[in-house]
Structure 1
Amino acid sequence: MSATIKDVAREAKVSIATVSRVLNNSAVVTDETRQRVLEAIKKTGYKPNALARSLKIQKTHTIGLIVPDISSTFYPEVVRGIEDIAAMYNYNIFLCNTDQKEEKEVKYIEILGEKQVDGIIFMGDIVRDSVIQTFNEFGVPVVLAGTQDKDKRFPSVMIDNEKAAYDAVKYLISLGRKKIGMISGPMHDPIGGLQRIEGYKRALEEHGIKYDPELVVEGEFKTRKAYLAMLKLLEYKVDAVFAASDDMAAAAINAIFDSNLKVPENIHVVGFDNTYISTIFRPTITTIQQPAYDIGAVSMRLLTKLLAKEPIEEMHVILPHQLIVRESTGFGEEKNSR
């Protein structure tokens, strides 16, 4: 098996980013470190031949995409937006699916660094410290799509998740619903989890409904867990449910039907994302439209500006969301509500 850049870094006792800088003749590397890396390259037999031409021009015209779950109904549309803009600017895409696992996120960032990608678009809700550290080691431009790091150090494109959740729950309240449950994303997730829970809580409190933590059950964006979460909420006799994704809303509706109840006659359901599931499921699902394609397209355009050193008007872009009213809240005809 041929040696990799990681083998060189291990042998020289430096980071992969430092090896990359030596290969690119960066002036920020000390002579001592450069010599140690060159000796490690010789000892391991590492041959960066596949990148020889691109190293000369310092460009590979390749963008790395890190996706948390490609089987989700949401992320493929984000990727499509990225790909369309990437093609306009003659960039190729290197797609990495992490299954929401931290070790895979770090591993793929290292691989993308080894591949000398020009930039990275990171998708997902949680931007862990280990991911930020690995980004910093490689020093390539990074854009966050659909999320934000806690210190807002990286450019980002997303919606206002708190306000979107608020609008969803406010709509349920306007229909006379009093006991509204929520199937949330992971509680440790600051975006799809906590921000949407905060919007749910604010809507209740502003309309005189006491917040009950028992009515918020973690679904973790997984259909099986969402199904079980709905069964638990039924024990509290909820008359409406806000689910933090359309997939979880569909699972909740199945649980309601399996319990010999009906949607929307007995329980109203609102989802989140406006993926194709919300339109083909029966009943069709009232949902918050998160502009997935636009999130991808704007993220890629922002990255091209960073790479070309163009002026950037806004480093943290907030795109508009929209409430799409369908059958799961009692309306057969689709209606848009801003």
Structure 2
Amino acid sequence: MTVTIYDVAREAGVSMATVSRVVNNNPNVKPQTRKKVFEAIERLGYRPNAVARGLASKKTTTVGVVIPDISNMLFSEVARGIEDIANMYHYNIILCNADKRKEKEIKVINTLLEKQVDGLLFMGGSVTDEHVQAFRTSSVPIVLCATRDETNQYPYVDIDHQQAAFDAVNALVQDGHRDIAMISGNLQDTNNGYSRYMGYKEALEKNNMPFREEYVRIGNYRYDSGIESMKYFLELEQRPTAVFAANDEMAVGAIHAIQDSGLRVPEDISVISVDNSRIASMVRPQLTAIAQPMYDIGAVSMRLLTKLMKNEKIEDTRVVLPHELVKRHSTR
């Protein structure tokens, strides 16, 4: 049978109020009494009921985290940053995978809010009207992590995706390339896909280079779509001399498609991406990439959420972290 606070009080020969004070680290308990209660807890194997404590205090010390793809190394790095800061401030994490599907994201958001979490961190693609409607039902703080809503009405921590893409393409231009293709993400993904696409176009325009429709293929951020997109480019009459991929996984697919065709990277075609996940240094040649500070995005998001939950003073609820170009061997 479940051991209750009453059982502990009877075993220790104290009141239930005293046991409660000991469990909640109240300093107003004599050391000898505290020792007696802890010994009773150990003998009986008592575990405090977190649900009951939450009902009493109206706090569960739990944060809900919605993650788009738990198998993606990039998001696992964000989750590590979130968890480290959560542990530092004594919060527990409920991590939910949403499979990059809007319907599941909405369902998970509502489920976490029903579980009375003290705050919510949302990682996803586009923040749609349906997401906003779900957020509006929340009585707890919400922070967008590695994404943002179009109106910027919710706190967020992210990078400037358009500038990151611009810097990647501009690096190829500085290397002497004029025929630069792009393997894009979903353009309906306003934060990552569309912003990086616009950064690509902006870089071409700033360098007085024409935009060519046949030099853009829409992928799904997966390895296979990188292969298929690159095969298409290789069959063009004027194939590109460089390719910018919207993420590392598609870039690796592009590298392998180039190598399978008998061409070399970067001697024949250069490849660059945005993300700089661990896979960038695993592929050969190693991938040149714009690095997102994914651990920092997670850590800063969680710290911002703790401040909101504790009603602490906040200078800025819209945080844009810096990115950097990491040069390796896939570009000349």
**Structure 1 length normalisation: TM-score?**
0.82
Kindly report which structure 2 residues correspond to 1:34-113, keeping only aligned pairs within 5 A, or say none: 51-113=51-113
The CA deviation at 1:213 is 2.1
Q: Secondary structure at the match of 2:330?
A: helix
Q: Secondary structure at the match of 1:110?
A: helix
Q: Over alpha carbons, which structure has the higher Rg?
A: 2
- On the 8 A contact 2:50/2:60 being kept in 1, the answer is no
Count of paired positions: 282
Q: For residues 250 and 222 of structure 2, what CA distance do their matches in structure 1 show?
A: 7
- On the 8 A contact 1:73/1:247 being kept in 2, the answer is no
The CA deviation at 1:251 is 0.7
Partner of 2:302: 300
Partner of 1:36: none
The alignment status of 1:201 with 2:201, answered yes or no, reads yes
Q: For residues 210 and 203 of structure 2, what CA distance do their matches in structure 1 show?
A: 10
Kindly report which structure 2 residues correspond to 1:155-174, keeping only aligned pairs within 5 A, or say none: 155-174=155-174
The CA deviation at 1:107 is 1.1
The CA deviation at 1:52 is 3.2
- On the 8 A contact 2:79/2:298 being kept in 1, the answer is yes
The alignment status of 1:212 with 2:212, answered yes or no, reads yes
- On the 8 A contact 2:100/2:125 being kept in 1, the answer is no
Q: Secondary structure at the match of 1:327?
A: coil
Q: Which runs of 5 or more structure 2 residues have no equivalent in the other structure?
A: 1-48
The CA deviation at 1:137 is 1.1
Q: Deviations over 1:219-263 (max 9, x none)?
A: 121111121111112223010000011111101101111111110
Q: For residues 116 and 139 of structure 2, what CA distance do their matches in structure 1 show?
A: 11
Q: For residues 114 and 191 of structure 1, what CA distance do their matches in structure 2 show?
A: 28
Percent identity between matched residues is 50
- On the 8 A contact 1:218/1:226 being kept in 2, the answer is no
Partner of 2:135: 135
User: Counterpart of 2:134 in structure 1: which amino acid?
Assistant: T
Partner of 1:314: 316
User: Counterpart of 2:290 in structure 1: which amino acid?
Assistant: I
The CA deviation at 1:50 is 7.3
Q: Which runs of 4+ in 1 moved over 4 A?
A: none
Q: Secondary structure at the match of 2:187?
A: coil
Partner of 2:264: 262
Q: For residues 179 and 80 of structure 1, what CA distance do their matches in structure 2 show?
A: 39
**Structure 2 length normalisation: TM-score?**
0.83
- On the 8 A contact 2:165/2:200 being kept in 1, the answer is yes
Partner of 2:244: 242
- On the 8 A contact 2:140/2:309 being kept in 1, the answer is no
The CA deviation at 1:281 is 0.8
- On the 8 A contact 2:144/2:154 being kept in 1, the answer is yes
Partner of 1:14: none
